Amino acid sequence: MKLLRFKIGNLPEGTQFRSLYSGFEILFHEPEVEGMDTLGQFNPFCFAGLNGRGKSNVLEALATIFSHLECCVAKFLPKTFVSFRPEVCAVDAFIVEYLIQRPNSSYSLDNFDRITVSKKSGEAPKMYRSTFPSTDKRKNLPETFFKQVKGYRGIGSWEIIFTRYHRRLLIG
């Protein structure tokens, strides 16, 4: 998985996720600007800064989002999740974009899909897939994503759901 972009959407007035406000955005990679060659290279992204500036909040927001997505597709939720609702998330509005290698394909940029997960405040998240690099129309993911995780029977770390769907987790 190669994160491309994370953005906090339009949150209701007076709310934010920890120190992250509406409109907060991080561009991890910009293949259209940096060039396609940079995606094939090892380019670690690290957070550096003074204490209390939000580095951990970004990681917590991402973990919260992927955990929420896992709960949205889990077939059997624990009894403690009786009141879980897909339209309610601690990070209530967001956009996450990333690249993921297609299952059973060689490691080449031609074998990646761009996944976009978006959630508006008060609505359930929506997931879209488009081929990469391309300008094909986005395809709504529920048909493919939810069929892939149909056999998933529990809640664990968010990596589990992604390894089941994507076959392996690529961090880059």
> Percentage of the chain with pLDDT > 70?
71
pLDDT in tens, 31-87: 777 666 676 667 677 878 888 888 899 999 999 999 998 888 887 777 877 788 899
Please check whether residue 6 is in contact with residue 28, taking contact to mean a CB–CB distance below 8 angstroms.
yes
Cα dist. 150→59, 85, 128, 155 in Å? 27, 18, 18, 13
Q: Does residue 4 carry a pLDDT above 80?
A: yes
More confident residue, 17 or 32: 17
Name the average pLDDT for the chain: 76
How high is the pLDDT of residue 139? Answer: 53
How high is the pLDDT of residue 134? Answer: 62
For residue 26, which of 129, 101, 110, 97 has the smallest C-alpha distance? 97
Whole-model pTM over 0.75:
no
For 116, list phi and psi in degrees, rounded to 5: -120, 125
Q: Does residue 142 carry a pLDDT above 60?
A: no
